[in-house]
Amino acid sequence: MIKVFLIPGLGADARIYKNLDFSGYEVINISWIDPDKKDTLVTYAQKLIDRYLITPGSIVVGNSLGGMLSMEISKKLELNKTILISSIKTKAEAPRSHKWYRMVPLYKLVPAKLFSRLGVFVKFAFGKMSAEDQWLFVNMLENTPPHFMKWALGAILYWENQTIPPKVSHIHGDKDLVFPYRRIKDATIVKGGSHIMILNRAEDINIWLKTILPL
């Protein structure tokens, strides 16, 4: 049975995938491990490979930050498939604002403990969602280690990937405010899909998954 490794986005955990259908595969949910201060997404991806024993021929699925890590894993291993949901493949697809945040890294001034208390901004940043999904996302955010949140923000801003390995599939919403879809290349676009469409547009994603997942 082919293994499918699911990597969540920043501020999320395995529950973000609760509405997606991977029946017929051996699913391994990846949880965050403590990063070193000097870790980049490149070195952190290797830690995930080592911790979870990701092997060639596997399928790796990543949502948001998880998609960026999936790209780094796919550069190290010959995967069966790399699947990105509401993410970016290269630094060219990152928002232009990332350049400004690198020049003026205000996130470094924010105490780490405050990053897990930003639930009030979830609905604004990620788009309209049900009360149940909003509760879930805030709960995941509050349970993400603050030091991981702060490290990950910096790692995202300084991600330099320019390589797209083979067998990468990408789905993205045209209402995504985190990674604007107009900068996204070679992806299936979901009309009305926001950054949180993995929860509220799961039916569309499941239909798409059936067309790309190996039998």
Compute the half-sphere exposure of residue 180: CA atoms within 13 Å on the CB side of its CA. Answer: 7
Residues of the chain with pLDDT under 50: 107, 109, 112, 115, 119-120
**Could you tell me the pTM of the whole model?**
0.90
Cβ contact 206:94 at 8 Å: no
Residue 144 sits in a domain of what CATH number? 3.40.50.1820
Which residue is it, tokens 């029946």? Answer: 23
Could you tell me the residue range of the domain that residue 138 belongs to? Answer: 3-212
Distances (CA, A) of 43 to 46, 61, 76, 120, 214: 5, 18, 11, 32, 29
pLDDT, residue 32, reads: 96
pLDDT, residue 134, reads: 76
Query: How many domains in the chain?
Result: 1
Mean pLDDT of the chain: 88
> pLDDT tens across 84-137, in order?
999 999 999 999 876 655 655 554 545 545 545 554 455 555 666 677 877 787
pLDDT, residue 99, reads: 67
Total residue count of the chain as it appears in this document: 215
**Alpha carbon distance 65, 75 (integer Å):** 16
**Alpha carbon distance 26, 2 (integer Å):** 6
Q: Give helix then strand counts, H and E, for the chain.
A: 8, 6
pLDDT, residue 133, reads: 77
pLDDT, residue 214, reads: 85
Sort residue 127 into left (φ over 0), alpha (ψ -120 to 50) or beta: left
pLDDT, residue 128, reads: 67
- Phi and psi at residue 178, in whole multiples of 5°? -85, -50
Cβ contact 114:146 at 8 Å: yes
